[in-house]
Amino acid sequence: DSLRSCRPGVRIAPGAPENFTKRVKSMLKPKKKITKKEIKEDQLVTTYFEARSWFEEHRRLAGYLVGIPILIVVGLFLWNLNLKESNEKATAKLSKVIAFYDQGRYEEAMNGAPQEGLIQGLVAIVNEHGKTKSGQIGKLYLANCYFAKGDYNKALELYLGADFDDKMLAASALGGAAACHEAMSQFEDAASYFEKAASKNMTGLQAPENLHHAAANYALTGKKERAVELLKKLKKEFPESPYARD
């Protein structure tokens, strides 16, 4: 009965539960704005102390770099500084996109809506700031947009290209990849990625759904024993989850 109740279904914004959305929005919460004058006056002082702090943190590395032109070391610091500034820009831009995304206006979220004040959409944000943390979050949202529009190959490419230290975000990307395979009837790959997503973040927020869908897809490939194993694991680890009651 449990296997018969497992039916894979295409989901909008796969792997992104309500808690995930709240978490991302809190990460994108704008900080206190300062004037251009304050920025200009404080720039040299800030740069000096950031450089000093960076060298203190990387003192051991600097010791290994004896003989290498100091310009290279300075270049490493400036690269980190530029990456930080790029991340702040990406955060500000992404916070404006979320409203369109939440409304299901995926085309505007992807490409912008200048007439409504959204100059850059997710495509531009990812292209310009893709190496930053906020840029990677933008990549996840962009993948969700492609998924919602039915372009599963493009969505899959973005999900697999996302890189997160955060377990919830990493699991969301793996779950998104799984959902793409599922939508394209590639059930064995779907099962594998759903299982990876569950293992990445074994918490009640994501793992029960991912384990359930992994079992469903394994059943469709004829691997019913593996499906039963995952359902037993689901019921054991998360007995209160709705997915464990089927």
At 49, the amino acid letter reads: F
Contact between residue 77 and residue 55 where contact means Cβ atoms under 8 Å apart: yes
Contact between residue 132 and residue 94 where contact means Cβ atoms under 8 Å apart: no
Residue 228: which pLDDT band, with cuts at 50, 70 and 90?
A: very high
Question: Percentage helix, strand, coil, to 5, in the chain?
Answer: 75, 0, 25
Write down the pLDDT at residue 43: 56
Q: Going by C-beta distance under 8 Å and a sequence separation of 6 or more, which residues neighbour residue 184?
A: 152, 153
Is 222's pLDDT higher than 70?
A: yes
Write down the pLDDT at residue 235: 94
CA distance 13 to 143: 8
Residue 84: which pLDDT band, with cuts at 50, 70 and 90?
A: confident
Write down the pLDDT at residue 56: 58
Write down the pLDDT at residue 15: 46
Q: Which SS3 state, helix, strand or coil, does residue 228 take?
A: helix
CA distance 140 to 143: 5
Is 165's pLDDT higher than 50?
A: yes
Q: Of residues 29 and 95, which shows the higher confidence score? A: 95
CA distance 72 to 56: 16
CA distance 198 to 212: 9
Residue 94: which pLDDT band, with cuts at 50, 70 and 90?
A: confident
Distances (CA, A) of 177 to 90, 133, 139, 159: 24, 19, 13, 6
- Mean per-residue pLDDT, 158-162: 95
Q: Of residues 49 and 198, which shows the higher confidence score? A: 198
Write down the pLDDT at residue 17: 42
Is 240's pLDDT higher than 80?
A: yes
pLDDT averaged over the chain?
Answer: 78
pTM: 0.72
Q: Going by C-beta distance under 8 Å and a sequence separation of 6 or more, which residues neighbour residue 194?
A: 174, 175, 178, 182, 210, 211, 213, 214, 217
- Mean per-residue pLDDT, 71-98: 69
Q: Which SS3 state, helix, strand or coil, does residue 64 take?
A: helix
Write down the pLDDT at residue 16: 47
At 68, the amino acid letter reads: I
Q: Which of 27-31, 149-153, 193-197, 204-208 has the lowest mean pLDDT?
A: 27-31
CA distance 19 to 166: 14
- Among 65, 58, 120, CA closest to 90: 120
Residue 188: which pLDDT band, with cuts at 50, 70 and 90?
A: very high
